[in-house]
Chains A and B, each alone.
Chain A
Amino acid sequence: MWLWSKGLGRLILPMDIGKAELQAEGETLVVKGVIVAPKVYWDYALSLQKKDLLDCMALLTDQRVVAYLVRERGFGLLGVLLKVAFRFGTSYLWAELKKLARRDRRDEVLV
């Protein structure tokens, strides 16, 4: 991903989101990474709230983006998508089950 903004000086900054790290900080999900370019080694952070997460997903479903991805990746991306969706769904259910188990244990202790 490349970002240019009027305020970033005379620079266009390359950001490799694939190498970024995620960190949950309260109600914010922070994507942290490093912009590496000649004479540039800058940390960057993208703070996402719930709404931003949904906006990013909505951007992905834009017809122009979908058409672009189909042309660039063809059928292959569907495999990636299925893998991602499966991992996301099962991990979430696992986290929910763990939450329930913890709550049950707490209730038992209270009783």
Chain B
Amino acid sequence: MRYWSKGLGRRSALHIEWSKGEYEIAVADGREVLAAVMPPHLVRGEPPPPGQQVIVSGQTLPPIVWRYISVLTQKDFEDMLRLAASPESVRFVAHVPGGRRLFLKVTWLLIGFFFRYLWTWALSKVPGLAQARWPGERKAGAVTAPASQAAPATSEPDSVEADIEAESSELA
């Protein structure tokens, strides 16, 4: 996608690519991530709310190659969904060449998102699977139990985790 803002001045638009492999994604505290690249007092306007957000980072594509970081909250994802279903968006999908195929692909992704969401929600409700609940975060080390609270080492949790992991990767 091409991003343009008045703040870019006479420079042309930034080309931000969100296809797989072109960006990094993480769930972290947006304030901390932004504070690492910019002192908090230089942030104009409302900073991200405290707590975790989705961080999408990467490099813009040539001719202007710059590192970028975007912080997305759950409201942004809801807004994205609402925009996708807005009349203007539907008109675009219906009239663009290859629109039917695009409609089918978007529908397929929405169905995939629905079932993945339902599955992840159901997993979060199963007691005893807290460690297996968030595979992405577990890999990043975000969900770690203190040593004092850690469960005794048995083979059972591993097998449950392995099952969940396998199912998650199947879904992926």
Given A65-B25, A91-B90, A37 and B45 contact (CB-CB distance below 8 Å): yes
Cβ of A51 under 8 Å from chain B: yes
Given A64-B54, A67-B134, A85-B110, A92 and B38 contact (CB-CB distance below 8 Å): no
Interface string of B59-88 (1 = CB under 8 A from A): 010001011111111111111111111111
A57, B76: Cβ atoms under 8 Å?
no
A77 to B123 Cα, complex, angstroms: 16
Interface string of B1-26 (1 = CB under 8 A from A): 11111111001011001111000011
Chain A: interface residue total (CB-CB under 8 A):
80
Q: Does B153 contact A (CB under 8 A)?
A: no
* Contact in complex: A54, B90 (CB < 8 Å): no
Bound-complex Cα distance A49 to B72 (A): 21
Verify A48–B1 contact, CB threshold 8 A.
yes
Q: A29-B89, A70-B121 are in contact. Are A2 and B70 (CB under 8 A)?
A: yes
What would 9 more interface pairs be, CB under 8 Å, given A57-B84, A64-B25, A88-B89? A11-B43, A12-B38, A24-B95, A42-B7, A56-B18, A67-B133, A68-B53, A78-B114, A87-B85
